[in-house]
């Protein structure tokens, strides 16, 4: 298939997203085209992805005339911390990277955040290229320029907006994901359709994006990835710094991030966002601001993509963790409220109202996930 789609991201620093197969072997060509002055490249990857894909990327960059080194950190959200950032910054200095050189982010969302924030801070900012290898990173985190690390108080609380010079999406990398990892990426796929594309939502209801589809129709998987990136592209171009429209991409995240932290990050990001989407949709139905079919359709589509809506943390614990979310401002928090499939709105919500929404929404989510349960339905 080679390059099947090329999307232009027209932010103040414009770049392109290349989607196809066998693109790892073209990493050097793409990188040299956007970083022609670079003499050195540092590939930042994690302990899971590095053994799989660092070698072909390194070979391609070397063939393009770059001196290449690889920095590998231990995989997992628990390592998206300032201690890892320090190690990576010191490695940049050891490799004698200059302002004209380039960092390559090779991996999933955690790697993209770590490499992007390293690039944003080393020498006050050097170029970097995103090569996402997970579905979650391909459809969401690799595009838009958000980079961050976690603090003890919460997720993504320290970071910078730093756009990549290019994004290289090799769909073939999805073949090494577990079914659980693949499904986790589908949380953001469903989110994009729910906020902006009712037709895509209906397409996914008919033919879910699953590992089976990956094996049977790689071209359609590439098309769905491109469709998702195009939704995010439109939002990011209109609001690069998340002052207004870009907040819509946070549908399900205020509650979802609370679930993620309350569960000790044992649940994937996409899974937690899915729980958050169903919860806010359910609470919005009880407030007569959302179409009644939205929570059930969201629940069914998430489950069709292999995502569980099960969680063990109490609503009190989830609320306490959600208060650390960066979408909070004083005594209010930003919520994205669904009206119908494909349409959402931004709502600044007092914290006491948010607590009620969270409690009602999570109770409804449990009931929807287990309709045959004998537990009392609090929704």
Cβ-contact 192, 253 below 8 angstroms: no
pLDDT of residue 374: 57
Report the alpha-carbon distance of residue 118 to residue 44 in Å, rounded.
Answer: 9
Specify the domain boundaries for CATH 3.40.50.1970 within the chain. Answer: 3-176
Q: Which fold has domain 3-176?
A: Rossmann fold (3.40.50)
CB burial readout 95-118, b (16+ within 10 A) else e? bebeeebbbbbbbbbbbbbbbbbb
pLDDT of residue 260: 95
pLDDT of residue 242: 85
Please state the pTM of the whole predicted model: 0.94
Low-confidence stretches of the chain (pLDDT < 50) are none
pLDDT of residue 44: 99
- For domain 179-369, the CATH architecture is Up-down Bundle (1.20)
pLDDT digits (tens, 9 = 90+) for 41-98: 999 999 999 999 999 999 999 999 999 999 999 999 999 999 999 999 999 999 999 9
Query: CA nearest 104: which of 142, 63, 47?
Result: 142
pLDDT of residue 170: 98
3 state DSSP class of 59: helix
Specify the domain boundaries for CATH 1.20.1090.10 within the chain. Answer: 179-369
pLDDT of residue 377: 54
């Amino acid at each position: 298939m080679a390059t099947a789609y090329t999307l232009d991201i027209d932010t103040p620093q414009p770049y392109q997203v290349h989607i196809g197969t066998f693109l790892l072997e073209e990493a050097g060509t793409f990188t040299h085209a956007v970083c022609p002055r670079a003499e050195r490249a540092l590939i930042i990857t994690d302990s899971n992805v590095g053994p799989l894909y660092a070698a072909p990327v390194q070979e391609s960059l070397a063939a393009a005339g770059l001196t290449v080194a690889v920095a590998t950190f231990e995989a997992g959200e628990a390592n998206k911390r300032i201690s890892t950032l320090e190690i990576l910054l010191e490695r940049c200095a050891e490799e004698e990277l200059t302002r004209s050189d380039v960092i390559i982010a090779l991996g999933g969302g955690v790697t993209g955040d770590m490499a992007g924030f390293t690039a944003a801070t080393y020498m006050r900012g050097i170029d970097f290229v995103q090569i996402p290898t997970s579905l979650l990173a391909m459809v969401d985190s690799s595009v838009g320029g958000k980079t961050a690390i976690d603090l003890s108080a919460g997720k993504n609380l320290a970071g910078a907006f730093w756009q990549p010079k290019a994004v290289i999406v090799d769909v073939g990398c999805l073949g090494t994901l577990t079914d659980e990892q693949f499904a986790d990426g589908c949380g953001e796929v469903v989110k994009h359709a729910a906020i902006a594309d009712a037709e895509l939502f209906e397409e996914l209801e008919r033919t879910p994006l699953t590992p089976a589809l990956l094996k049977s129709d790689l071209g359609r998987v590439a098309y769905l990835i491109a469709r998702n990136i195009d939704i995010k592209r439109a939002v990011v171009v209109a609001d690069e710094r998340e002052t207004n429209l870009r907040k819509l991409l946070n549908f399900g995240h205020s509650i979802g991030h609370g679930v993620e932290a309350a569960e000790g990050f044992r649940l994937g990001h996409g899974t937690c966002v899915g729980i958050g989407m169903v919860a806010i949709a359910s609470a919005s139905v009880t407030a007569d601001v959302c179409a009644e079919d939205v929570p059930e359709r969201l629940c069914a589509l998430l489950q069709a993509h292999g995502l569980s809506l099960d969680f063990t943390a109490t609503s009190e614990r989830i609320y306490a963790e959600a208060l650390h979310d960066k979408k909070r401002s004083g005594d209010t928090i930003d919520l994205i409220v669904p009206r119908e499939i494909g349409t959402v709105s931004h709502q600044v919500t007092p914290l006491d109202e948010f607590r009620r929404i969270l409690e009602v929404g999570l109770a409804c989510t449990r009931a929807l996930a287990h309709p045959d349960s004998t537990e009392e339905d609090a929704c």
